[in-house]
Amino acid sequence: MSDLVPFPRAPRRPSGPEPLWRHLLGDQLRRRRHDRDETLTETAEKAGVSPQYLSEVERGLKEPSSEMIAAIAGALDTSLIDLTSAVADELRTAATPAPASAAVSAGRGAFALAA
């Protein structure tokens, strides 16, 4: 029979650390608040949290509970599912590895198997 030839492994993710959920959540909340031309105080008051707490969430310093995320989302007239989907999409985009075909063909001596 024939020998097996190992293929080079594609990198699992781009170089550098993966972004944290709380950072992307904070960015998304800040963007939505700015799109509404609201101050921290206005949004915080609607959400029932302090402006300091909302600021820390937006800067990714706090890991808010799901209840807090829902309250802030409601204050921004968005649903929890819309907010979390937007954050998940950003996380997916930030952590998407290069296509395996590009990684394999970029390496020297790539082989194809035939049955």
The pLDDT tens digits of the residues spanning 54-77 come to 999 999 999 999 999 999 999 999
Q: What pLDDT is recorded for position 14?
A: 56
* Residue ranges in the chain modelled with pLDDT below 50: 101-111
From residue 20, give the alpha-carbon distance in Å to each of 34, 60, 62, 101. Answer: 22, 8, 11, 28
| Single pTM value for the model | 0.70
Please name each of the domains of the chain with its CATH number. 21-94 (1.10.260.40)
Q: What pLDDT is recorded for position 38?
A: 98
Q: Which two tokens stand for residue 79?
A: 């649903």
Nearest to 70 by CA among 81, 85, 59, 58: 81
In single-letter form, the type of residue at position 29 comes to L
Nearest to 73 by CA among 91, 53, 46, 106: 46
The gap from C-alpha 38 to its chain's centroid, in whole angstroms, comes to 24
